[in-house]
Amino acid sequence: MSASPFDKRWLLLAGAVAALGFGLLLPRPAGPEHAAASVEATVPPSLAGAKEFDRSLRADASPTPSEFAVYVCGAVKNPGVYTFAPGSRVVDALKQAGGPLPDADVEQINLAQPLSDAMKVTVPHKGQIVASDPATSDAAPTTSHHRRSHGRSSHGAHKLADGQTLDVNSASAQELVQLPGVGPSLAQRIVDYREQNGPFQTVDDLQNVPGIGPSKFERLAPFVRL
């Protein structure tokens, strides 16, 4: 006896339902999100913590600028070489060196000037003119001549202004040309006399230097100190 068309349709429907139910019972492949979660779940807690710490270091770490050295000398309590952080200024150099001495003339230097590596900060004494050294001008830009002067000599050197003095026992030949009436040759004779006979004991002793007569001595004496 053959099955009726109605029975065939029921058989086909029952087979489809059975196939669908069997497919639902099979394990499904993990999706991308589920796979990532499974991988994270299999990482040991100690390694996971190290991974997060490494990420934190990469995010927060930044290069730290290195310190630099500056030589502070002159009229300060503790001359020497000091280290400074980037952004430091000349006023910080004075503080690091113990502060200026009572006779320091800090008006000759720029306290707000930024410091740089290998820089030389020279703090002059009152009445002292700090001679510029062309060989170290980049390393010591804070040393400068006083602009109050009678002008330049024929040799291009600034002359001392009224009230300013120069120590003839320690000044170099380059500095001595700042005295009125003193040129390079006479300045060298002053240095030679000092080296041969020792420091000047009195200002009048300058008249023993060849080339310093009464009139020239009268001009330069007010600008001399020992």
Q: What is the mean pLDDT of residues 179-207?
A: 92
Q: What is the pTM of this model?
A: 0.36
Architecture of domain 63-144: Roll (3.10)
Q: Give 148-226's CATH code, choosing from 1.10.150.320, 3.40.50.1110, 3.40.50.300, 3.10.100.10.
A: 1.10.150.320
SS (H, E, C) the chain: CCCCHHHHHHHHHHHHHHHHHHHHHCCCCCCHHHHHHHHHHHCCHHHHHHHHHHHHHHHHCCCCCCCEEEEEEECECCCEEEEECCCCEHHHHHHHCCCECCCECHHHCCCCCECCCCEEEEECECCCCCCCCHHHCCCCCCCCCCCCCCCECCCCCECCCCCCCEECCCCCHHHHCCCCCCCHHHHHHHHHHHHHHCCCCCHHHHHHCCCCCHHHHHHHHHHEEC
Per-residue model confidence (pLDDT) at position 51: 55
Asked if 142 and 110 count as a contact pair (C-beta separation under 8 A), the reply is yes
Q: What is the mean pLDDT of residues 192-210?
A: 92
Enumerate the domain spans of the chain.
63-144, 148-226
Indicate the pLDDT class of residue 146, thresholds 50, 70 and 90. very low
Nearest-angstrom CA–CA distance, 109 and 142: 5
pLDDT over 90 for what percent of the chain?
35
Residue 147 has pLDDT above 80, yes or no: no
Provide the 8-state DSSP code for 85. Answer: -
**Torsion angles phi and psi, residue 30, rounded to 5:** -70, 135
Average pLDDT, the chain: 74
Nearest-angstrom CA–CA distance, 108 and 145: 8
Indicate the pLDDT class of residue 32, thresholds 50, 70 and 90. low
Residue 80 has pLDDT above 60, yes or no: yes
Cβ atoms within 10 Å of 176's Cβ, excluding its own: 24
The larger pLDDT score, comparing residue 99 to residue 150, is at 99
Per-residue model confidence (pLDDT) at position 199: 92
Do the two domains 63-144 and 148-226 of this chain adopt the same fold? Answer: no
Indicate the pLDDT class of residue 112, thresholds 50, 70 and 90. confident
The larger pLDDT score, comparing residue 129 to residue 137, is at 129
Indicate the pLDDT class of residue 106, thresholds 50, 70 and 90. confident
The larger pLDDT score, comparing residue 142 to residue 174, is at 174
Indicate the pLDDT class of residue 172, thresholds 50, 70 and 90. very high
Here the tokens at position 201 are 């004991």
